[in-house]
Amino acid sequence: MNAPVTPRTIRIHPDDNVAVVVNDGGLPAGTALPGGPTLVQAVPQGHKVALTDLPAGTAVRRYNVVIGHTAVDIPAGGWVNEQRLVMPEARSLQGLPAPQPPADLPPLEGHTFMGYRNADGSVGTRNLLAVTTTVQCVAGVLEFAVERIRKDLLPKYPNVDGVVGLTHSYGCGVAIDAPDAIIPIRTVRNLAMNPNFGGEVMVLSLGCEKLQPERLLPPGSIPISDERQGPDVVCLQDEKHVGFMSMIDSILTQAKTHLERLNARQRTTCPVSELVVGVQCGGSDAFSGVTANPAVGFATDLLVRAGATVMFSENTEVRDAVDQLTRRAATPEVADAIVRELGWYDAYLARGQADRSANTTPGNKKGGLSNIVEKAMGSIVKSGNGPIHGVIAPGEKVKQKGLIFAATPASDFICGTLQLAAGMNLHVFTTGRGTPYGLAECPVIKVATRNDLARRWHDLMDVNAGRIASGEASIDELGWELFHRMLAVASGEKTWAEKWGLHNDLVLFNPAPIT
Ligand code: CA
């Protein structure tokens, strides 16, 4: 016999006319909500309950934002789900509010981490050998070589954390001169320069591909401060190679010179301002915007106050909050750049006869997220409360501190890949439904939105923000906990995904034609 449960719901804003059921397993019909209506039907966990009668056509407010209008009469205590809600039109990109940015947050001092300083001034949180590729054709050879490097070479270089093959699907069979081809090309280029690779650039090329090494990395594109002349390129079609082992030996020989230099590096004390953090969510549920994302938002504010760079992304998940973003822009130029990026993305989606409603998955809906408006309002809180200082386009490198809108698709792997290209050295990822997401190039701290997920996935989730819903911790407490965990992980503490070696593929964003 289970102890009787205390019904718990969360209403984000006093003007909201729905609240979200918090209890594991949901609540049965007949449950009297404290200070609220009695449920007229069972409502699953994470789903919305009407707090007042909502006749058909009533605006449903969550986050004090209209997330839709009721399609049918819903009585107080009724279940408000995606089938009973009509999604509002997308906000026009014309006539958006002018910037009225909040004041810069007060500085936060006295926090450091142990990182690897690079010659170009960036700082790594890991010390990895990365091998860049110009084309997918070489992926199998590189995988073989990476395995040999791992087994035969890495034991001799104990200060090196690992070896990563930067394989991808680009490089040939693509319209490489199309205007949008700049996006995948600069992504591969900037990935090679991620701070976690120590400025050691090594390239594996096939020979006949469209993306030639000198096109990928033209002279001057690698900020090398010493006498080194450019990237080491191993070309498989080079006539000197006779037999497969000749190629592998060549890769291993080149790898050794990079491993020597990487192995000589030591972690040193670095200010938090050297962190470049990418925040993202995936497998979201209705708790994402109540627990994990607000805690991430609190930590975002702490990082920005300490002078760090924090990138938030995921175009389709911020699109419905565009008016909030332009209002928070630090300057009119930043507001214009936000509109430019989201306008470009609207056109990109329209070209494929899709719109923002293509976002939200069956799992999102099962988790209580009725539509993209509701998802967006919960997603954007990851960006905290400060002004937005800058904007970068997909695949660009971030060059400034503060809070940055890095425009990317919301797809977890594409967003992560583009944030890596931007120079991310630490990734924070929130999930409600649960995903084992991880990257080989950069540590990923995963934050669970619910106690039940944290309990079941205890050896996959790094932080449990579900404690906010159960009243065991406040958003501030969780935010500070996450901040300290970020500094520990940046200093070398392994995440669960690193302990298990869970790595997703790099996935490029290629809006240009394939040939
Ligand atoms: Ca995502």
CA distance 94 to 214: 41
Of all residues in the chain, the percent with pLDDT exceeding 70 is: 97
User: What is the 24 CA–ligand 1 centroid distance (Å)?
Assistant: 24
**Residue 482's pLDDT band (boundaries 50, 70, 90)?**
very high
User: What is the 240 CA–ligand 1 centroid distance (Å)?
Assistant: 45
pLDDT at 228: 55
User: What is the 260 CA–ligand 1 centroid distance (Å)?
Assistant: 37
pLDDT at 223: 59
User: What is the 282 CA–ligand 1 centroid distance (Å)?
Assistant: 4
User: What is the 502 CA–ligand 1 centroid distance (Å)?
Assistant: 17
Ion ligand 1: residues, CB within 5 A, are 280, 282, 410, 412
User: What is the 437 CA–ligand 1 centroid distance (Å)?
Assistant: 10
State yes or no: pLDDT of 186 exceeds 90: yes
Residue pair 164/142 in contact by the 8 Å Cβ criterion = no
Residues 470-492 have a mean pLDDT of 97
Residue pair 188/170 in contact by the 8 Å Cβ criterion = yes
User: What is the 4 CA–ligand 1 centroid distance (Å)?
Assistant: 37
Cα angle, residue 379 at apex, residues 343 and 383 outer, rounded to 5°? 85
User: What is the 412 CA–ligand 1 centroid distance (Å)?
Assistant: 4
Instruction: Say which residues have a Cβ less than 8 Å from residue 95's Cβ, sequence separation at least 6.
Output: none
Does this model's pTM top 0.75? My answer is yes
pLDDT at 364: 86
User: What is the 50 CA–ligand 1 centroid distance (Å)?
Assistant: 29
pLDDT at 3: 54
User: What is the 338 CA–ligand 1 centroid distance (Å)?
Assistant: 18
Residues 279-287 have a mean pLDDT of 91
Least confidently predicted of 200-204, 284-288, 498-502: 284-288
User: What is the 51 CA–ligand 1 centroid distance (Å)?
Assistant: 31
pLDDT at 226: 47
User: What is the 150 CA–ligand 1 centroid distance (Å)?
Assistant: 31
User: What is the 445 CA–ligand 1 centroid distance (Å)?
Assistant: 14
Cα angle, residue 301 at apex, residues 286 and 479 outer, rounded to 5°? 55
User: What is the 314 CA–ligand 1 centroid distance (Å)?
Assistant: 6
Instruction: Say which residues have a Cβ less than 8 Å from residue 359's Cβ, sequence separation at least 6.
Output: 316, 317, 372, 375, 410
User: What is the 378 CA–ligand 1 centroid distance (Å)?
Assistant: 12
Instruction: Say which residues have a Cβ less than 8 Å from residue 53's Cβ, sequence separation at least 6.
Output: 73, 74, 75, 76
Residues 142-169 have a mean pLDDT of 98
User: What is the 186 CA–ligand 1 centroid distance (Å)?
Assistant: 21
**Residue 38's pLDDT band (boundaries 50, 70, 90)?**
very high
User: What is the 118 CA–ligand 1 centroid distance (Å)?
Assistant: 29
CA distance 95 to 326: 11
User: What is the 245 CA–ligand 1 centroid distance (Å)?
Assistant: 40
Residues 280-289 have a mean pLDDT of 90
Residue pair 452/470 in contact by the 8 Å Cβ criterion = no
pLDDT at 225: 41
Residue pair 23/261 in contact by the 8 Å Cβ criterion = no
User: What is the 379 CA–ligand 1 centroid distance (Å)?
Assistant: 9
Residues 378-391 have a mean pLDDT of 96
Residue pair 506/442 in contact by the 8 Å Cβ criterion = no
Quick one: CA torsion of 425, 430, 435, 441, rounded to 10 degrees? 0
User: What is the 319 CA–ligand 1 centroid distance (Å)?
Assistant: 14
User: What is the 449 CA–ligand 1 centroid distance (Å)?
Assistant: 15
User: What is the 475 CA–ligand 1 centroid distance (Å)?
Assistant: 22
CA distance 54 to 57: 8
CA distance 2 to 282: 33
pLDDT at 1: 41
Identify the burial level of 494 via C-beta atoms within 10 angstroms of its C-beta, where 0-12 means exposed, 13-18 middle and 19 or more buried.
middle
Query: Which pLDDT tens digit goes with each residue over 301-359?
Result: 999 999 999 999 999 999 999 999 999 999 999 999 999 999 999 999 999 999 887 77
User: What is the 106 CA–ligand 1 centroid distance (Å)?
Assistant: 30
User: What is the 285 CA–ligand 1 centroid distance (Å)?
Assistant: 12
Return the H-helix or E-strand segment holding 61.
Answer: strand 59-62
User: What is the 229 CA–ligand 1 centroid distance (Å)?
Assistant: 38
Of all residues in the chain, the percent with pLDDT exceeding 90 is: 86
Helices (H), 276-360: 292-305, 322-328, 332-351
User: What is the 361 CA–ligand 1 centroid distance (Å)?
Assistant: 11
Residues 129-154 have a mean pLDDT of 98
State yes or no: pLDDT of 367 exceeds 50: yes
User: What is the 55 CA–ligand 1 centroid distance (Å)?
Assistant: 34
User: What is the 506 CA–ligand 1 centroid distance (Å)?
Assistant: 14
CA distance 222 to 234: 17
User: What is the 97 CA–ligand 1 centroid distance (Å)?
Assistant: 27
Residues 380-406 have a mean pLDDT of 97
CA distance 315 to 409: 5
- Which two three-digit tokens encode residue 130? 């990365």
Helix axes 292-305, 475-490, angle to 10 degrees: 60
